[in-house]
């Protein structure tokens, strides 16, 4: 009997890995086809829209949350996580002074509607010199279709981004260059349980990207946000311990891949301690470290979550706060 159980588990894991490989292949093909289509444009790297994620929990774990994210912050990290929310309605706000230079504000919310979970988010950063605004609209659904885990559901989701930017509106010298940008981006994601304690996360960021710039000096031109394929694994060796490892694979020759690792320790069921590590896969390999903490506590009929994280960055350090409310 024990041998049959082990054989069934091995078959289940093999099927899970096969399904994950198929999903990754599809995402990579879409992203690579997008790269080819944009190859003749001015550049794949825009001068703006460096999204840094929503919420402090992800930053505290070094961004290694693509397989463990849940709730409203999933709009950025992995839209499939919208369906993993522990409540039917949730809101969150976040703020950081990125590298001590750029104010970055974000807000997001979700609502469960039957079998689907819908989310909306707003990200704003910058000032009159250069401001960036992104509106995120996402949706997710879970399906119990895994033969090796009939009691666990696989989640799938997508996020549509609307981007707008404006620059050169500050008081400065004469003949100052001004301009704006408008565009769309599409993220797709999946969460696939491999075992009772291990989950595979996959996100294709900006698999479709259209961004048009209008400059008083250079006229109108396209300069798209580069696509990326993020593959992550989350493991829970203990009820109070969560480990995550992500590979952020750049799909353009002028961007670098990134490896992220993070850990989260839950204390007394109400508090969390976090740590993260980030390294760039390039010849001039560079490292970053992050730490974070969070607390969850009831407030009447709601549950509030307060998180903080500190990133020891390559250029400058960053402090971020976020507050979540679950109804």
In the chain, alpha helices (H): 2-37, 56-60, 74-77
**Tens of pLDDT, residues 58-86:** 999 999 999 999 999 999 999 999 998 88
Q: How confident is the model at residue 49 (pLDDT cuts 50, 70, 90)?
A: low
For the ranges 16-20, 55-59, 170-174, 207-211, the one whose mean pLDDT is highest: 55-59
Which of the pair, 123 or 224, is modelled with greater confidence? 123
Average pLDDT over residues 24-35: 45
pLDDT score recorded for residue 17: 46
Does the predicted model carry a pTM greater than 0.85? no
Contacts of residue 65, Cβ cutoff 8 Å, sequence gap at least 6: 57, 58, 77, 78, 232, 234, 244, 246, 262
End-to-end CA distance of the chain: 45
**pLDDT of the residue at 136:** 96
Give residue 30's pLDDT: 43
Interatomic CA distance for residues 39 and 149, integer angstroms: 42
Q: CATH classification of 2-326 is 2.40.160.60, yes or no? A: yes
Q: Which of 114-123, 207-216, 261-270 has the lowest mean pLDDT?
A: 207-216
Segment 43-56 shows an average pLDDT of: 64
Which is more confidently placed, 50 or 86? 86
Q: Which pLDDT score is estimated for 316?
A: 85
The CA distance from 24 to 36, in Å, is 18
């Amino acid at each position: 009997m024990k041998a049959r159980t082990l054989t069934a588990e091995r078959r289940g894991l093999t099927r899970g890995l096969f399904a994950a490989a198929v999903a990754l292949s599809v995402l990579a093909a879409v992203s690579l086809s997008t790269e080819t289509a944009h190859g003749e444009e001015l550049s794949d790297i825009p001068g703006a829209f460096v999204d840094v994620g929503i919420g402090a929990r992800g930053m505290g774990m070094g961004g290694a949350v693509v397989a463990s994210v849940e709730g409203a912050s999933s709009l950025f990290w992995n839209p499939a996580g919208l369906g993993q929310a522990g409540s039917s309605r949730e809101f969150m706000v976040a703020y950081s002074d990125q590298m001590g230079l750029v104010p970055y504000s974000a807000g997001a919310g979700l609502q469960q509607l039957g079998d689907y979970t819908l989310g909306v988010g707003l990200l704003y950063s910058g000032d009159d010199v250069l401001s960036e605004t992104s509106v995120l609209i996402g949706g997710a659904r879970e399906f119990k279709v895994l033969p090796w885990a009939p009691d666990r559901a696989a989640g799938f989701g997508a996020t549509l981004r609307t981007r707008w930017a404006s620059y050169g509106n500050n008081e400065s010298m004469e003949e100052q260059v001004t301009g704006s940008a408008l565009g769309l981006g599409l993220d797709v994601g999946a969460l696939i349980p491999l075992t009772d304690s291990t989950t595979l996360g996959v996100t294709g960021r900006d698999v479709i990207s259209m961004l048009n710039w209008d400059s008083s000096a250079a006229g109108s031109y396209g300069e798209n946000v580069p696509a990326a394929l993020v593959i992550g694994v989350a493991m829970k060796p203990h009820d109070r311990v969560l480990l995550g490892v992500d590979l952020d694979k750049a799909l353009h020759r002028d961007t670098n891949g990134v490896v992220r690792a993070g850990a989260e320790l839950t204390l007394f069921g109400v508090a969390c301690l976090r740590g993260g590590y980030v390294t760039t896969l390039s010849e001039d390999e560079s490292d970053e470290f992050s730490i974070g903490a969070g607390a969850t506590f009831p407030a009447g009929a709601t549950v509030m979550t307060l998180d903080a994280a500190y990133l020891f960055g390559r250029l400058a350090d960053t402090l971020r706060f976020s507050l979540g409310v679950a109804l």
